[in-house]
Chains A and B, each alone.
Chain A
Amino acid sequence: DVKVTQSSRYLVKRTGEKVFLECVQDMDHENMFWYRQDPGLGLRLIYFSYDVKMKEKGDIPEGYSVSREKKERFSLILESASTNQTSMYLCASSFADTKSYEQYFGPGTRLTVT
């Protein structure tokens, strides 16, 4: 079974704090993704990575950065958390071969910034 795990299900942080969200997958997937999910807006792509140390901006990268030092791990960093970053964050992974089309999702981290 494919497993994508995220470090926390729930997280509460204060405005201005540096926040790390960790994602680990065990299927040797090349691609990893970070989304945020807000009511009425669906899932929006923040950043993705197609290889170790490689990253590309998604649709809403402002206020976020990412790190991928190992193939199985993809971290999302909020350099200085703000209240408008309160959201559900979902990590996903997939193979690079487009014939293997499915993205596998983690359970999500619900982040509250106060």
Chain B
Amino acid sequence: AQKITQTQPGMFVQEKEAVTLDCTYDTSDQSYGLFWYKQPSSGEMIFLIYQGSYDEQNATEGRYSLNFQKARKSANLVISASQLGDSAMYFCAMREDYTGTASKLTFGTGTRLQVTL
């Protein structure tokens, strides 16, 4: 069974600093996808970034980058130049890759990030 582990329940970072949110995963599949979602206090889940297991380069989207280390089974999210609006809950998730029925996501327990002045 797939499992996602986020060991940091809460993190603090100062504005304009970079922060790394940890995510490790466990799967026996060769083909899978890793996601990060942001959930502000308003509740909606916002997709941030995606990494496929066969992608050779780390994914980047603006200030977000995913530090993918396949051998270590880790997929850490790096936020550069933190902003106050980055304060939110962040979830790491993994997708099983198979055809036939829907590809499900397995989520971690989340990390609450607080950006301070």
Contacts and interface: CB of A to CB of B under 8 A. Distances in A.
Does B bind A? Answer: yes
Interface of A: 30-31, 33, 35, 40-45, 48-50, 54, 56, 58, 88, 90, 92, 94, 96, 98, 101-108, 110
B104 A108 contact: no
B109 A101 contact: no
Interface stretch (B14-22, B42-50, B69-77, B78-86): B42-50
Interface of A is mostly: strand
Interface of B: 4, 6, 9, 33, 35, 37, 42-45, 47, 50, 52, 91, 93, 95, 97, 99, 101-110
B1 to A, nearest CB: 9
Contact of B102 (A44, A50, A90, A108): A50
Contacts of B102: 30-31, 33, 48-50, 56, 94, 96
B9 to A, nearest CB: 8
Contacts of A88: 43
B104 A48 contact: yes
A110 to B, nearest CB: 8
B50 A105 contact: no
